[in-house]
Chains A and B, each alone.
Chain A
Amino acid sequence: MKKWLMYSAAPLLSVTLLAACGGSDGDDGSSSESVEGETTSETIGSGDIELVFWEFGNTGYDKLIEEYVEENPDITINLQNSDMNDMHDNLFTSISADTGAPDIAMIEEAQIERYRTAEDSFNNLYDLGAGDVQDEFLDWVWNNSENASGDFVFGLPTDIGPTVMFYRTDVFEEAGFDSSPEAVSELIPTWDAYEEVALQIYEETGKLMTDAGELIYNARRDQASQQYFNTDEELIIDDHPEIREAYNYTADFFDQDLAGDIPLWTPEWFAGMADGSYATMLAPAWMQGVIKDNSPEEGVWSITTMPEGAGNWGGSFLTIPSESEHAEEAYAFISWLTAPEQQLKSFLDYGLFPSAPAVYEMDEFINYEDSYFGGIPTAQVFSEAAQQVIPVYKGRNYYSIDDVIKEALDNVSAGDDRDEEWSASLDTIDRILAR
């Protein structure tokens, strides 16, 4: 029964990206592609050793692979791109069945928790030499890829998603504020200030602070030192105030009608980016592609720091399932792909934000100015954010729990009592964890 469900469900899962895209790496709004749920397959190179590489999102890795196979003529890489949820579900099934896994699989940072119990199904990259490149990456990213005792590492980090505040310069000006990134950053150093500014903008212009209140919750959640679980997989949501504060803070916005309740990744949410009907969008680095796609006019959006520090939303790891017959070749390839030089190219071409801090020192990176965002050095804002990120342990039921809280917030936005919704969602969470 589970198999036929799997097969019938697979094409549908793709669409639910819209609902569960907690951190689709580098998914820069190519949702039309994702909705179709197609897997594209591309074979690059003509060497004898073929590596199958499963990826998702819009990484632009095909270009880098062409470069790699030119230098390594014995390698052929079969790059298969699918929707994020599809890819993870397929990987899950093939690992569960012990057959069909690729040589290289990209795993999203929160999804990696799902595979923790399957250490046997992956190569320990420390055995392949990952210890040598460990220092190239941000510590917190690396830790997310390790097991609890730190002697097993699942994958090499690709990009990350440090969060910043995107804002509409036109709305800020209309409300009588200086709209330069420095001024906005000074204007909104704290979440209290963010709420005050929201009130002022609403009074002056009648516009909302954001159209998706969910993003406010995400931003505050990602700044918390601990989220839903501690490292022993115990639920800490109730005796750990930060999440409740994030929840209440978002509920305040809904109660005062300062935030809309448009779900992310829906057509109206995409359309809203061009409208200028709201002032800010709290989002990670890879969202810049989404904004550019949906709001083509240059110079209206700008970027500044988020109040009270950054969080991380998204990013991926490249893993080598133990089924692979070419683990060493695969490792050589992924360590090349995640090396600082290649990460710089991914950033310049696709906006994927590097997980290797060495890139932050490179001239090309520092001097990168984006005319779309008013010609400011965007890379610097992001790298500043990246270094502020507090590492959190997410746990294997992360997305399920997160969805329950989002549902509660959705009900609050429609006028339900926030405390009742909170305790109802705790009950639901208990039932999910009891399964």
Chain B
Amino acid sequence: MKAAQSTQIDPSKKPKGNREKRRTALAAYFFVSPFFILFLIFGLFPMVFSFYLAFFRWDGLGEMTYVGLANFQFIFNDPVFYSSILNTFIIGLLGTLPQIIFAILIAFALNSALIKFRNTFRTIIFLPYITSVVAVAIIFGVVFNNQPFGFVNYLLSLADIEPIRWNAEYWPVKIAIATMVFWRWVGYNTIIFLAGMQSIPKELYEAAKIDGATISQQIRLITLPMLKPITLFVVFTATIGSLQLFTEPLIFLGRNLREEGITMVAYLWRDAFVYNSFGTASAAAIALFFIIIVLTVVNLLITSRMGRSKKVG
């Protein structure tokens, strides 16, 4: 409507409008320029430099030596690199899948009219998200302590289960880190889902109730389908979040980052800042870059397919 109006008015004042347009455009570029300047310095340059570094051997202080593809050869022959990719995916799945299911259920409970003090509960559920991730990792380090007196090991001992070495064994490490991810993000996702649920018309539920639908039927047939776009958003952010997983394994495992729990970002960080090998770290960063591209494409394909099925349905 507005667009149509402006085309009607424009012809009469064409020259002036153009000049004005250009001035507005200039002003606009001026106002957005801080972003681009900062992006060039802190975003683009380091990225390009990282690509460049991947072909050099460099300890950060001495001379850079050109080594061709040797850094890539090195990381692709390093079993720990593959472990780090696998770990990232396993921890990502363990941490996010149950989290999304829980978040939907909690959001549904918080959204229902039955619960009193809803606002209090909403605040409480959101609190873990604002906790410092470092603090979370330290606390969970105490909870998942290797020693028999560690909190979880103590609980297990009540059921006559031997103490578990939480920061050293293959699955326990991943479960412990995934638990931290779960605990910290479940509240955030709950709030997102809650917002989505509140946009679902109440009449749908009322109609369903009159038709005699149970709560599980309401979740399955009304809530979940109506939440599809929100679910997609949550899945995307969770995917990106788990690919970036770094702080939890670093603090839980220490600077040494055992192979059982090292993630991709932790791997490249350790190469750069513990081993002072910026070349292999950059090569790992580039590998990570391509993995993210592949995952994004997969995500996009799924989204567009979901979009299509919606139209058909």
Chain A residues near B (Cβ < 8 Å) = 1-6, 8-9, 11-13, 15-16, 18-20, 35, 37, 85, 89, 92, 95-96, 114-115, 117-118, 121, 261-263, 266-268, 396-397, 399-400, 403-404, 406-407, 410-411, 414, 431-432, 434-435
Contacts and interface: CB of A to CB of B under 8 A. Distances in A.
B256 A15 contact: no
Contact of A121 (B50, B59, B61, B142): B61
B256 A406 contact: yes
A400 B138 contact: no
A93 B107 CA distance: 45
B277 to A, nearest CB: 4
Residue of B60, B137, B271, B277 with highest tally of chain A CB at under 10 A: B60
Q: Is the interface of A mostly helix, strand, loop or mixed?
A: helix
A1 B61 contact: no
B61 A414 contact: no
A432 B282 contact: no
B269 A435 contact: no
B274 A117 contact: no
B168 interface: yes
Contacts of A396: 276
Contact of B256 (A4, A9, A19, A114): A19
Given A1-B47, A16-B255, A35-B138, A400 B275 contact: yes
Given A1-B47, A435-B275, A20 B149 contact: no
Interface in B259-294: 268-269, 271-282, 285
A93 to B, nearest CB: 8
A37 B137 CA distance: 15
B258 interface: yes
B269 A5 contact: yes
A426 to B, nearest CB: 15
A397 B275 contact: yes
B170 interface: no
B19 to A, nearest CB: 41
Interface residues of B, number: 48
Given A13-B255, A85-B255, 15 more contacts: A3-B46, A4-B42, A5-B269, A5-B272, A15-B134, A96-B61, A114-B61, A117-B59, A263-B254, A268-B145, A268-B149, A399-B274, A414-B168, A431-B80, A432-B275
A403 B301 CA distance: 44
B147 interface: yes
B251 A15 contact: yes
Contacts of A12: 134, 246-247, 250-251
B61 A95 contact: yes
21 contacts: A1-B49, A1-B50, A3-B46, A5-B273, A6-B273, A12-B134, A15-B251, A19-B253, A20-B254, A20-B255, A37-B134, A92-B61, A114-B61, A117-B61, A263-B254, A268-B149, A399-B274, A403-B255, A404-B256, A414-B168, A432-B275
Q: Which 7 A-B pairs have the closest CB atoms?
A: A19-B254, A435-B277, A1-B50, A117-B62, A403-B256, A118-B61, A16-B255
Nearest to B250: A12
Contacts of A411: 168
Given A397-B275, A414-B165, A434-B74, A115 B61 contact: yes
Interface in B37-72: 42, 46-47, 49-50, 53, 59-62
A406 B80 CA distance: 18
Given A15-B138, A411-B168, A268 B60 contact: no
B146 interface: yes
Nearest to B270: A400
Residue of B46, B78, B149, B278 with highest tally of chain A CB at under 10 A: B46
Contact of B251 (A16, A85, A434, A435): A16
Contacts of B141: 266
Contacts of B254: 16, 18-20, 263
Nearest to A427: B79
B269 A1 contact: no
A435 B138 CA distance: 31
B59 to A, nearest CB: 7
A400 B274 contact: yes
Contacts of A263: 254
B278 A2 contact: yes
Nearest to B141: A266
Contacts of A89: 273
Contacts of A2: 46, 49-50, 53, 272, 278, 281-282
A267 B142 contact: yes
B253 to A, nearest CB: 8
Contact of B250 (A16, A115, A400, A407): A16
A4 B43 CA distance: 8
Contacts of B137: 15
A262 B147 contact: yes
Nearest to B274: A400
B156 to A, nearest CB: 16
Contact of A261 (B146, B272, B274): B146
A260 to B, nearest CB: 8
Residue of A2, A15, A261, A268 with highest tally of chain B CB at under 10 A: A2
Interface in B226-260: 246-247, 250-251, 253-256, 258
